[in-house]
Amino acid sequence: EELTHILAKVETHNHPTAISPFPGAATGSGGEIRDEGATGRGSKPKAGLCGFSVSNLNIPEALQPWEAESAAYGRPARIASPLAIMLEGPIGAAAFNNEFGRPNLAGYFRTYEQFTGSADSPEGRLLRGYHKPIMLAGGVGSIAASQSFKSATLPAGSLLIQIGGPGMLIGLGGGAASSMTTGSNSADLDFASVQRGNPEIQRRAQEVIDRCWQMGAPAGDGSAPGDGNPILSVHDVGAGGISNALPELAHGAGCGARFELRAVNIEEPGMSPAEIWCNEAQERYVMAIAPDRLAEFTALCERERCPFAVVGKTTREKHLVVADSHFGNQPVDMDMAALLGKPPRMTRTATHLPPLGVPFDATAVDLREAAARVLRLPAVADKTFLISIGDRSVGGLTARDQMVGPWQVPCADVAVTLMAFEGFLGEAFAIGERTPLAVLNGPASGRMAVGEALTNIAAADIAALGDVKLSANWMAAAGFPGEDARLFDTVRAVSDLCQQIGVAIPVGKDSLSMRTAWQEGGDGEHGERKQVVSPLSLIVTGFARVQDARRTLTPQLVLDIGETDLLLIDLGAGRNRLGGSALAQVFNATGSETPDVDDPARLVAFFGAIRKLATENLLLAYHDRADGGLFATVCEMAFAAHCGVSIDTDSLCYDPLMNDVDGNEKRPDLLGGRSFELLMRALFNEELGAVVQIRRAERSPVMAILRAAGLGACSQFIGSPNPWDQVRIIRNAKAVLAEPRMELQRAWSETSFRMQQLRDNPECAQQAYDRILDPTDSGLSVSLSFDPGDDVAAPMIISGARPRVAILREQGVNGQVEMAAAFDRAGFAAVDVHMSDVLSGRVTLADFKGAVACGGFSYGDVLGAGQGWAKTILFNARARDSFATFFARSDSFALGVCNGCQMMSALKEIIPGADAWPSFERNRVEQFEARFSLVEVPASPSVFFAGMGGSRLPVVVSHGEGRALFASAEQQTRALVAMRYVDPAGQPSERYPDNPNGSPAGITGLTTADGRFTIMMPHPERVFRSVQMSWRPADWDARGWHDSPWLRMFRNARRWVD
């Protein structure tokens, strides 16, 4: 064991995403991943987050009422529309994370576009919005304590290496273009500044880095062969390309460097010296190693098939020389200090201007209409279309993703990962952002972003508030009148708040060119100058160590433990301010007074009280109050549990200036004036706070803890679940709103449905949307034909014998670690076997009892999923003989999962009894699908599923090409099915999303007649521990079922070997 630290990084990639959404967002995620892997002397990215802020979507044939006013305003022709950004950008980010092999577990999505001010005022009207979007990419990683710091000095003659992809003429000037007002640069330069992503080669580079840091801390200085990690320092290549990364690598170690330009790996030989030196081609790292370690490093790179080149050496003189052997000159010859010394100090004059708002009259709206509009606003609405496209389980260390409960509703407050495959220590991260508030009150928006990050992350089992560390990402239209002063005030306000509550902000980045300007209708004086200015935008991400990942709270209401109550903890203390709220936005207003963190001590007390209540098992469910206010919070809790909720608003609407019944004792439909305003403020204010569910019998101890924390006066019981499957809002003992939960959930999910309908297979989108109306949908369930507490492999494990199993991977495979962990836990000795080992003859399968082909994207799936991998076996005599001999043995077994399933199905000509296996084609939904799906294990000969026949339980699914395609109906009839997707009633399903890929009869796993060879698209190796499951029955932890039922299949294999 070794002390391991948590890495945290969040950055933005706004300009490239505006110009070309898919590659812009993809390389945004890819660059942030490299930052995590290039920390210290090498580290491990673990889990990611992604967020988007754009202007109004203006979905065709679904224009929302609040979008109409600005819909015709336009945008520069060179930038993508908000709709295009949200159809393409999230796919780019997800695709990079998926293929690299990092789960994406958190995020946010906000649309904002609004005219502020008045045409009659001296300032006129200003369109605020995100024509230049925010594309947020971040994540957590881990680093060994011994690898945390780069070498402080590099001896002269140290080798400077570029590893990863080749240089190409892409991304030239990207760093500079991102710092300009969008629309002010030339179109050609804007398009030239966008990079392109290749996650498969970045994965190869990360594998090399992993092999290096896993060699441990050097005993000496790391220069001798075999002396620990050969990497002395590592740096990712981002803005400025190697012209920035290589000099920084040398300068950071207090030395100079000499480089040979023509040693740099490039794809385009016609590039000029400046283009070679300055292009921002992605998936590259630079590092320093000692000359005597080159042979070891070369062997590692060759095994992973990762390109690298020695491009220079360090020098004692702090001088930078770039030599060009092609032209016989030195295009760069300068002192390091001139390039990387301190820049001149900048002085700016900031002027305060009054905010430009739009008054909001809460009494002039209809309650039912307000509820429907708020639920449809993207910041509030269902975000399934952004979540199901991203792998959330790769790596096998996910404990809490976005999807909650048996119906997998996306409403989790926090993401939680496990530190390792043993124990329950982990990491939590959550996002907070309240950017519309900044139009009225910049400092309040900053404080509220910090507050929201903390009320979100409070759902995780964190020991103390001081354990939380924040990242602050700042966006502003610097130089625009009033914005510099607003930025200064907000930075100071956030700094003051964090010092008061004892939370540090050790990391952050900024993007200060958040304005889009262009001219329409002609040039010069003949055209109309237009602009869209983004609000000051602070995105805060909180990170913390988790004591027990099993104890994470979710919004899912518990319905089977007797009477329960819902308790609102209102950190706004009854102020109920509506300025900048979702309610105001959907009626094209801003309001005036915004929520704020008025009492930092109350926020500290809240965090401590929530953690104490959770530690004493007094909380059943938890959901913070944010966009959409109390109404949206309670609705999401009802959606997660598929139940009704009754909310009594009397205590929330109390006004000492009015009588108790407000004249509404007879006719709730007459509710109006001040009384109605109080109701709307109570339901839709977005002050900090949370709703918790508790047992009614435990009211007293709960309130005692809250009073002791000084929160008694702002904690009110507001309602409880009801049996009518309705959301009921009660005022003066009468229902002022009583809507079926299904109808509200349909409104909440409408935006996601419409986006998926445009982007994916519309028939599948419709099926998923209609499923909300199915009253028989009981969601995920578990029905087992065996006792998961019975370890059938225990006698074999006790014997001490550990049969060897080859964990096979090809370049681009990313699921080998969790597969090895599952087999290791079942009593095998798991051995990492790269296909280069087999092809070179370094490894033969004769030495193994089992062979397992893992999930991922071999060769980037460019020849079809798994096809390239299969062909490297079939068309290489040594590999084909090795595999054919292995399959022909009577004492061998093999398993193919996901990409390994696709690959093994293509090997069926050399696998005895596999002739009826299908190929696996593009999902019917026409999209990568990541789901937690219900499957049945039918009786079959598979050695993996012995004794499991008839069981139904959920399993992770993550693939884009999983639809089984049989050559004929006769072939399908002959196929021996080992696993199939079923609906909640247990029937084989072809309906989406019960069946995420459209395979006939739900078929997703097959075996051979002797049962030795099994293939499947789902990933049981990612859920072999119950803590890894997005949902599990509540009694499993109490029964001590820390190993999930899926571990039985691996234990079955171990028993079969003996």
Q: Which residue has the higher pLDDT, 454 or 666?
A: 454
Joined together, the tokens standing for residue 356 give 């430009």
Average pLDDT over residues 592-617: 98
Joined together, the tokens standing for residue 840 give 């070179």
Average pLDDT over residues 164-183: 72
Phi, psi of 268 (to 5 degrees): -120, 105
Residue 1025 contacts by C-beta under 8 Å, 6 or more apart in sequence?
Answer: 421, 1042, 1043, 1044, 1047
Residue among 898, 929, 936, 961 flagged as catalytic: 898
Residue 177 sits in the same domain as residue 82: no
CB atoms within 10 A of CB 15: 26
Q: pLDDT value at position 1005?
A: 99
Give, rounded to a whole angstrom, the gap between the first and last alpha carbons of the chain: 31
Q: pLDDT value at position 174?
A: 59
Torsion of CA 791, 792, 798, 802, to 10 degrees: -110
Joined together, the tokens standing for residue 887 give 């399959």
> What 3-state DSSP class applies to 650?
helix
Beta strand pairing call for 929-937 and 689-695: unpaired
Residue among 13, 235, 642, 1019 flagged as catalytic: 1019
Residue 134 sits in the same domain as residue 162: no
- Give the whole-angstrom CA distance, residue 643 versus residue 234: 52
Domain presence at residue 84: yes
pLDDT at position 434 over 80: yes
The closest alpha carbon to 683, from 360, 370, 437, belongs to 370
Type of residue at 609: A
- Cis bond leading into 993, ω under 30°? yes
> What 3-state DSSP class applies to 674?
helix
Q: Which DSSP state fits 765?
A: H
The closest alpha carbon to 626, from 369, 403, 359, 433, belongs to 433
- Give the whole-angstrom CA distance, residue 142 versus residue 155: 28
The predicted-structure confidence for 823-878, as pLDDT tens digits, reads as follows: 999 999 999 999 999 999 999 999 999 999 999 999 999 889 999 999 999 999 99
Which CATH number is 911's domain given? 3.40.50.880
pLDDT at position 438 over 60: yes
* CA angle (951, 956, 962) in 5-degree steps: 100
Residue 327 sits in the same domain as residue 383: no
List, in sequence order, every residue forming a beta bridge with 473; answer none if it has no partner. Answer: 509, 539
The predicted-structure confidence for 701-717, as pLDDT tens digits, reads as follows: 999 999 999 999 999 99
Joined together, the tokens standing for residue 726 give 């309705």
Please report, rounded to a whole number, the percentage of residues in the chain having pLDDT higher than 90: 89
Residue 189 sits in the same domain as residue 262: yes
pLDDT at position 507 over 80: yes
Sign, Cα dihedral of 593, 596, 598, 603:
positive
SS3 of 31-52: HHHHHHHCCCCCCEEEEEEEEE
CB atoms within 10 A of CB 880: 16
Q: pLDDT value at position 187?
A: 67
Residue 433 sits in the same domain as residue 466: yes
Widest distance between CA atoms in the chain: 94
Beta strand pairing call for 515-520 and 528-533: antiparallel
Residue 996 contacts by C-beta under 8 Å, 6 or more apart in sequence?
Answer: 923, 925, 929, 931, 933, 957, 962, 981
Beta strand pairing call for 893-897 and 564-570: unpaired
Domain presence at residue 209: no
Confidence band (pLDDT; 50, 70, 90) for 664? Answer: very low
Q: Which helix (H) or strand (E) holds 818?
A: helix 816-825
Residue 651 sits in the same domain as residue 515: yes
Mean pLDDT, all residues of the chain = 95
Residue 161 sits in the same domain as residue 78: no
Joined together, the tokens standing for residue 909 give 């000509």
What are the residue ranges of helices labelled H in 328-378? 336-340, 367-376
| Residue 520 Cα distances to 76, 517, 531, 684, 734, angstroms | 8, 10, 11, 39, 55
Q: Which DSSP state fits 593?
A: P
Q: Using the CB atoms, write b or e for 702-733: b if 16+ within 10 Å.
A: bbebbeebebeebbbbbbbbbeeebbbbbbbe
Beta strand pairing call for 726-731 and 284-289: unpaired
DSSP labels, 98-118: HHHT--EEEEEEEE-EEEEE-
Average pLDDT over residues 127-156: 96
Contact (Cβ atoms closer than 8 angstroms) between residue 1021 and residue 396? yes
Q: Using the CB atoms, write b or e for 142-178: b if 16+ within 10 Å.
A: bbbebbeebbeebbeebbbbbbbbbbbbbbbbbbebb
Residue 732 contacts by C-beta under 8 Å, 6 or more apart in sequence?
Answer: 650, 661, 662, 664, 665, 668
pLDDT at position 1054 over 90: yes
- Give the whole-angstrom CA distance, residue 841 versus residue 387: 42
What are the residue ranges of helices labelled H in 350-426? 367-376, 384-387
Residue 334 sits in the same domain as residue 372: no
Pick from 726, 743, 760: which residue ends a domain? 743
Residue 121 sits in the same domain as residue 171: no
Domain presence at residue 826: yes
Confidence band (pLDDT; 50, 70, 90) for 341? Answer: confident
CB atoms within 10 A of CB 950: 14
pLDDT at position 666 over 50: no
* CA angle (794, 795, 799) in 5-degree steps: 115
Contact (Cβ atoms closer than 8 angstroms) between residue 957 and residue 1018? yes
Domain presence at residue 581: yes
Domain presence at residue 347: no
Which CATH number is 292's domain given? 3.90.650.10
- Give the whole-angstrom CA distance, residue 849 versus residue 894: 9
Domain presence at residue 896: yes
Joined together, the tokens standing for residue 405 give 């409960």
Domain presence at residue 397: yes
Tell me the residue range of the domain where 616 lies: 4-141+359-743
Token pair 């407050």 is found at: 413
> What 3-state DSSP class applies to 1015?
strand
Burial class of residue 560, CB neighbours in 10 A (0-12, 13-18, 19+): exposed
- Give the whole-angstrom CA distance, residue 27 versus residue 31: 6
- Give the whole-angstrom CA distance, residue 802 versus residue 1054: 9
Domain presence at residue 635: yes
List, in sequence order, every residue forming a beta bridge with 730; answer none if it has no partner. Answer: 648, 735
Residue 840 contacts by C-beta under 8 Å, 6 or more apart in sequence?
Answer: none
Contact (Cβ atoms closer than 8 angstroms) between residue 95 and residue 928? yes
Residue 659 contacts by C-beta under 8 Å, 6 or more apart in sequence?
Answer: none
Residue 643 sits in the same domain as residue 671: yes
CB atoms within 10 A of CB 923: 25
Residue 567 sits in the same domain as residue 692: yes
Angle between helices 1047-1057 and 816-825 (to 10 degrees): 60
Contact (Cβ atoms closer than 8 angstroms) between residue 899 and residue 865? yes
The closest alpha carbon to 103, from 386, 401, 384, belongs to 401
Phi, psi of 279 (to 5 degrees): -65, 155
- Give the whole-angstrom CA distance, residue 899 versus residue 98: 12
Average pLDDT over residues 682-686: 99
How many Cα atoms are found within 13 Å in the side-chain-facing hemisphere of 526?
A: 3
Contact (Cβ atoms closer than 8 angstroms) between residue 125 and residue 117? yes
Active site residue 898: yes
Phi, psi of 597 (to 5 degrees): -90, 90
Residue among 36, 483, 739, 1021 flagged as catalytic: 1021
How many Cα atoms are found within 13 Å in the side-chain-facing hemisphere of 776?
A: 4
Torsion of CA 484, 488, 490, 496, to 10 degrees: 180
Rg (CA), the chain: 29
Active site residue 961: no
Type of residue at 947: G
Token pair 């593009």 is found at: 922
Residue 333 sits in the same domain as residue 365: no
The domain total for the chain is 3
